[in-house]
Copies of this chain bind each other. A is one copy, B any other.
Amino acid sequence: MSDPFVVVGGDAAGLSAASKFARERPERDVLVFEKGAWISYAHCGTPYYVKGEVERLTDLLSLSPEDAAERGIDLRRHHEVTAVDADAKAVTVEHDGETTRQSYEALLVATGAHAVTDPIPGADLDGVFTLHGLDSAAAIRAYLSDPDDDDIAAVEQVDRALVERYADRTPPERVAIVGGGYVGVEMAEAFRSRGLETHLFQRPEQVLPPFGEAVGERAADHLRDRGVHLHLDTSVERLVGDDHVTAVAHEGGTTGVDAALVGIGIRPNTDLLSETGVELGGSGAVATDDYGRTTVEDIYAAGDCAEMRHAVTGEPAWVPLGLTANRAGRAIGQTVAGDREPVGDIAGTAVVKAFELECGRTGILDHDEARAAGFDPVSETITAGSRSGYYPGGDETTVTLTADRETGRLLGGAIAGRDRAAIRIDTLATALESDLTGAELERLDLAYAPPFSPVWDPVLVAAKVLRGSLD
The interface of chain A, by Cβ under 8 A from chain B, is 12, 42, 44-45, 48, 53-54, 59-60, 311, 321-324, 326-327, 342, 344-353, 358, 360, 362, 388-392, 420, 422-427, 429-431, 433-434, 436, 440, 443-453, 455-457, 459
A-B contact pairs, 16 of them (CB 8 A): A53-B391, A54-B391, A323-B445, A323-B448, A347-B444, A348-B445, A349-B445, A351-B449, A352-B449, A353-B449, A360-B447, A422-B451, A427-B429, A427-B430, A429-B446, A434-B436
A190 to chain B, nearest CB (A): 12
CB neighbours of A392 from chain B (8 A): 53-54
Given pairs A53-B391, A422-B449, 10 additional interface contacts (CB within 8 A): A48-B390, A60-B390, A311-B445, A351-B449, A351-B453, A423-B453, A425-B447, A429-B446, A431-B434, A434-B436
A471 to B193, CA, bound (A): 49
A389 to chain B, nearest CB (A): 8
Contact between B420 and A45, CB atoms less than 8 A apart: no
CB neighbours of A445 from chain B (8 A): 311, 323-324, 344-349, 362, 429, 433
CB neighbours of A433 from chain B (8 A): 440, 444-445
CB neighbours of A358 from chain B (8 A): 451-452
A386 to chain B, nearest CB (A): 9
Name the residue of chain B whose CB is nearest to the CB of A430. B430
CB neighbours of A388 from chain B (8 A): 42, 44-45
Name the residue of chain B whose CB is nearest to the CB of A424. B423
Contact between B327 and A447, CB atoms less than 8 A apart: no
Q: Known contacts A436-B434, A445-B311; is A390 also within 8 Å of B456 by CB? A: no
A352 to B450, CA, bound (A): 9
CB neighbours of A446 from chain B (8 A): 323, 349, 426, 429-430
A447 to B348, CA, bound (A): 9
Which of A45, A346, A426 lies at the interface centre, i.e. has the most chain B CB atoms within 10 A of its CB?
A426
Contact between A450 and B44, CB atoms less than 8 A apart: yes
CB neighbours of A425 from chain B (8 A): 447
A321 to B345, CA, bound (A): 35
Name the residue of chain B whose CB is nearest to the CB of A345. B445
CB neighbours of A349 from chain B (8 A): 445-447
A434 to B429, CA, bound (A): 12
A423 to B453, CA, bound (A): 8
Contact between B447 and A423, CB atoms less than 8 A apart: yes
A412 to chain B, nearest CB (A): 12
CB neighbours of A324 from chain B (8 A): 445
A254 to chain B, nearest CB (A): 34
Contact between B449 and A350, CB atoms less than 8 A apart: yes
A447 to B423, CA, bound (A): 7
A449 to B422, CA, bound (A): 10
CB neighbours of A321 from chain B (8 A): 448
A370 to B329, CA, bound (A): 35
